[in-house]
Amino acid sequence: MSEVESVEKFRALSPSEFFYRNREIAGFSNPARALYQTVRELVENALDATDTHHILPDIKVIIKSENSEGLKTSTASVEDSEGYEGILYSVQVEDNGIGLPPQHVPRAFGQLLYSSKYVLRQSRGMFGLGAKMAILYGQITTGKPAEVITSQILSKKIYYFKVSIDIASNTPIIHEFSIMDKSNEWHGTVVKTYLIGDWQRSKQKIYDYLRRTAIIAPYANIFFEDPEGNIVMFRRSTEEMPVPPREVKPHPYGVDVELLKRMLADTNTKTLLEFLVREFQHIGELTATKILENAKLKPNLKPSELTLNDITELMRSIKTFKIKAPSGKHLSFLGETLIVLGLRETLKPEYAAAVTRKANVYEGHAFVVEAGIAYGGKIPSVDKPLLLRYANKIPLLYDESADVMRKVVDTIEWNRYGVTLPAQLAVLIHICSTKVPYKGVGKEAVADVPEVEKEIELAVREVARKLKSYLARKAKEYEEAEKAVTIAKYIPDIARSLHILSDSKFSQENLEKELLQLLNKKLTMLKIKALKDIVVEVS
């Protein structure tokens, strides 16, 4: 044994330092992916700031290439810390949302895992990482702080911050701060961050992301200016918006011992009975009394007096009782009308349909699955259905092969629904939940949770049956149209015979016109196109 023994050095990592070292797991693995992820995270924040509060979104996204002094150029090129060559870009996203209280801005953008989203209410963001990870990545690769401008709806002031993150302590560093008087009614937030990116490699993904966002949010205006100076406007096609989610109490089945311990420590209730009734969904006094009897705990016991053993017994007792499924009021799904509108406006299909399933539960967490289908029209023919994946209104573009949605769509026997692949077919799947079972922090693939997988399959099959009915009806119409064309060929001969049989009382020309009118009337009753249209189609 050596005389000098080695001594292990122990230290703690702050959340900022952990993600600084492991930024790949949050989707910032290289300049191309980082540029896409930055746009995605900032746009998600902007949409949450608007539609969660029932404000019709007006979002502006501007990406510019920059040189080291911050001036516009197309040639500035540097390498990031991993050796990937990329260009210095700025990404700016502006929304017309509710704005941020100025006292929260530094921590909201300069402290990882600090967020207003840690409540039981659906939002696009879940982890309190998004915008901060974009700022952290930009800080790592360029050294530049982010710029934030914000003003609340009723405020008469506009607040400006330059902020970065102290990685060691996970605290914000404020480089500049100023207050300006507001001369108009503008409200919202503007975030601008600098990073090393690769536009050429991320261009397609960013455009796909914005197009798919336009599908799921047809009520939004999205303005986009890319580094090449191209401007694209995704205009809203409706002012109808989803019902905003409402914060609700936790469901008993979604609580574990640690969460129960914290709830007991934070509650303002005086007794254990009151705690169960007031702090949970769907527990009334009768059920609460039975739960406490089963756990051998007194109803008038103070929540702060429970021992760890008491808490464990209470948790065990809660799980033994049958309690009504969680409420879906904290979820904000799109609904069939908006999904169909989004598919029609963006994909220009011949046919579109959608279904929204009732709320279901996994591990005590409510979730809703929606599915849409689009067929024909301008959709390109594909060997397997084009899959549009969404979770909490977020388009998922990466890791499709690992996603349970792809698995379900690929196992569907499409010929049973009248579709022979390759076909002009797109399938949209949307999952809403406060706990989407993502496979990683990057939020790009949904895991194979049995309850969720089953709901996805039921939703897809339900909407596929609608397509089957449409295709069957279309086939019948086509058959009737072919018959009409065949009949039409003999109308001149029939008119000539009738003309002769009537001793020339009726002209052959008029008889032909009347027979054609009768045929068209029959087609109209069958809801088929006029003869002049179907002759072209059939021929």
Question: How does pLDDT run across 432-467, given as a tens digit for each residue?
Answer: 988 888 887 667 899 999 999 999 999 999 999 999
- Please count the other Cβ atoms lying within 10 Å of the Cβ belonging to residue 293: 12
The most confident of the ranges 45-59, 273-287, 370-384 is 370-384
Same fold for the pair 15-234 and 336-465: no
pLDDT mean over 396-418? 94
Mean pLDDT of 255-279: 89
One CATH from 3.30.230.10, 3.30.930.10, 3.90.1150.10, 3.40.50.970 for 336-465: 3.30.230.10
Could you tell me if 88 and 65 are in contact, meaning their C-beta atoms sit under 8 angstroms apart?
yes
3-state secondary structure 391-443: ECCEEECCCHHHCHHHHHHHHCCHHHHCCCCCECEEEEEEEEECCCCECCCCC
Residues 430 and 218: their CA atoms lie apart, in Å, by 15
Helix, strand counts (H, E) of the chain: 14, 15
Cβ neighbours around 19 below 10 Å, total: 25
Short-list 377, 349, 381, 352, CA closest to 470:
352
CATH of 15-234, one of 3.30.565.10, 3.40.47.10, 3.20.20.70, 3.30.160.40: 3.30.565.10
For the domain made up of 252-320, the CATH class stated in words is mainly alpha
Highest mean pLDDT (candidates 22-26, 125-129, 256-260, 501-505): 256-260
Query: For the chain, which residues make up each domain, given as ranges?
Result: 15-234, 252-320, 336-465, 471-538
Distance CA 75, CA 468 (A): 53
Helices 199-216 and 31-51: crossing angle, nearest 10°? 20
Across residues 7-32, what is the average pLDDT?
76
Q: For residue 312, what are its two tokens?
A: 């464990």
CB 34 within 8 A of CB 26: no
Three-class secondary structure of residue 84 per DSSP: coil
Mean predicted lDDT score pLDDT of the chain: 85
pLDDT higher than threshold 70 for residue 474? yes
Kindly report the pTM of this predicted structure: 0.78
HSE value, Cβ hemisphere, 13 Å, CA-based, for 215: 31
Q: CA–CA separation, 129 vs 521, rounded Å?
A: 63
- Which residues lie below 8 Å from residue 350, measured CB to CB, with a gap of 6+? 375, 376, 377, 424
Check pLDDT > 50 for residue 150.
Answer: yes
What value does the mean pLDDT take over residues 319-347?
Answer: 87
Poorest-confidence range of 72-76, 167-171, 177-181, 456-460? 72-76
- pLDDT more than 90, % of the chain: 52
7's enclosing H/E stretch is: none
Torsion angle in degrees (nearest 10) through CA of 188, 218, 221, 208: 100
Instruction: For residues 315-331, give the mean pLDDT.
Output: 83
The more confident residue out of 2 and 173 is 173
| pLDDT(224) > 70 | yes
Residues 128/112, Cβ–Cβ less than 8 Å: yes
